[in-house]
Structure 1
Amino acid sequence: MEKQVIAVYLEKFGLATMFPESVKKTMRLETFASGSQLFAQGEEAHALYLLAEGKLKISMLSPEGKRLIVAFKSPFDFVGDVEYVRKCQLINTVETVTATTVIRIPYEVLESEMAGNAEWLQFLLESITRKFEIKSHAMNFNLLYTVDVRVASYLLAMTPNKTTLDSTSLVDMADLIGTSYRHLNRVLKHFEEQGWLVKKRGKITITDRSALLAQTGQNIYE
């Protein structure tokens, strides 16, 4: 059953012919609940993960010791491809925003079975190039966008299929979007006064999603 599900995902994402059977037979499905940490920055990397269902939050620790949002990921995308090529520790911390399903592919199998596959190598090159572009943009977000836009975008990105999120870790949220706890609270209060959200009992409830989207013009994290 697991192999059939994996085959469906590979076909859906146009990857069915890229991987030989020797690689496909080592693939495994893994599922994670919302709010789970898949990896932490600095950990050893052992496998490539194909995001098949759900949504991921990618963050990194800056040289100043602040944890900043790099991007939010939706299917399909790979996690661990940069580390596979560079043979380094995990560059980012990866957490689930929603319930998530990934396909795990061991590095050692890719190394032995795919190292000379031109299609695979070209695919990796395009994937990694795109990620470094995204990371470069992410590092400039603090200069390009106001805090209001960053807060609205974060709220939208964290609630793709729900209206409520936990507000008990506002310090972490402030760090992730590159602002102070005090400034974040001012923005949230302003949004509440506008009728866009309600902040109560450790929860933030989105009441006007379209207004938040209008505030951002676009979701800058996606």
Structure 2
Amino acid sequence: MIKYPITADSNSDLKEYGLDLSYLKDCVVCRFDAGEVLLNQGDIVEHLFIIMRGKIKVCMLAANGKDLTLCYYISSGILGDVEFVQENKSASATSIAAFACECIRIPLNLNQEYLIHNITFMNQLASGLSTKLLNSSYAHITSALYSGEERLCSYILMAEHNQMFTEILSDVSKSIGISYRHLFRLLNDMCQRGVLEKRASGFLVIDRQYLTEKSARM
């Protein structure tokens, strides 16, 4: 992680949330490389992160600490918002930079009172939480109503970067609710159809239109 002072661009991001830099303390811009962890599930959340650019993978593990029960990607909004409004300040999920990303980091111990009494910020935060609730409901409906192929197409579109899909396949199978063997068959079938092309680092997306047409949609 590399930290920078707030710039004019990042200050404009703060203003979108109704935040005035002159009232905030010790805020910085943080750049995370791919694979770096922003929040660890179970750790106390000490900062809010406003996502400026990039993509972040959010994963939730089961009680055994091994099985993946939830995985999705975000490229905007706030990290730590769920914990901010709860008494339990432990991170509900692990957040990892899927690709290089930049966020504004706001220390909670120094800024919580200002944030709580900022109506514009709290409205924005509530809007973001409602979006996450709707997305969670959609994910449950998708797992019940759509085929494994449709769920896989949606996941590839969500996770690919520069046309490359490089996810750990065991995590993918758990995230979309199909067996590893079934996932492997679907990927092989897409390669044979010319939708994907197997590469050493993952799969190259060749036919985005096919993925879009087949993806699970409400």
Task: Name the counterpart of 1:61.
Answer: 61
Residue 213 of structure 2 is matched in structure 1 by 214
SS at match of 2:16: coil
> Shift of the alpha carbon at 1:173?
1.7
Instruction: Please give the secondary structure, in 2, of the residue aligned with 1:86.
Output: coil
- 8 Å CA contact 1:10, 1:16 repeated in 2: no
Structure 2: how far apart are the matches of 1:113 and 1:14? 14
Name the structure 2 match of 1:147.
148
1:106 maps to what in 2? 107
* CA displacement at 1:2 relative to structure 2: 4.2
Partner of 1:84: 84
Find the aligned partners of 1:145 and 1:37 in 2 and give their Cα distance: 32
Q: TM-score, normalised by structure 1?
A: 0.83
5 Å matches for 1:37-52?
A: 37-52=37-52
Q: 1:42 to 1:29 in 2, by over 3 A?
A: same
**1:11-57 residue CA offsets vs partner (Å, 9 max, x unmatched):** 2564274335131x421111111233322221211110000010112
Matched, 1:135 2:136: yes
Deviation at 1:148, TM superposition (A): 0.5
Which 5+ residue runs of structure 2 have no aligned equivalent? none
TM-score by length of 2: 0.85
Please give the alpha-carbon distance, in whole angstroms, between the structure 2 residues aligned to 1:209 and 1:152: 9
Identity rate, percent: 25
Partner of 2:181: 182
Of 188-197 and 137-146, more deviation after overlay is shown by: 137-146
* Change in 2 beyond 3 A, CA 1:182/1:114: same
Q: 1:52 to 1:200 in 2, by over 3 A?
A: closer
CA–CA separation in structure 1 for the residues paired with 2:141 and 2:178: 13
Which residue of the partner structure matches residue 203 of structure 2?
A: 204
CA distance in 2, matches of 1:80, 1:33: 19
**3-state secondary structure, aligned to 2:99:** coil
Amino acid in the other structure paired with 1:30? C
- The corresponding residue for 2:97 is 96
Partner of 2:166: 166
Check whether the contact 2:28–2:104 (CA below 8 A) recurs between aligned residues: yes
Q: Distance in 2 between matches of 1:110 and 1:116?
A: 10
Residues 31, 2 of structure 1: CA spacing in aligned structure 2 closer, same or farther, 3 A cutoff?
closer
> CA, structure 1 residues 202+111, in 2 after alignment: closer, same or farther (shift >3 Å)?
closer
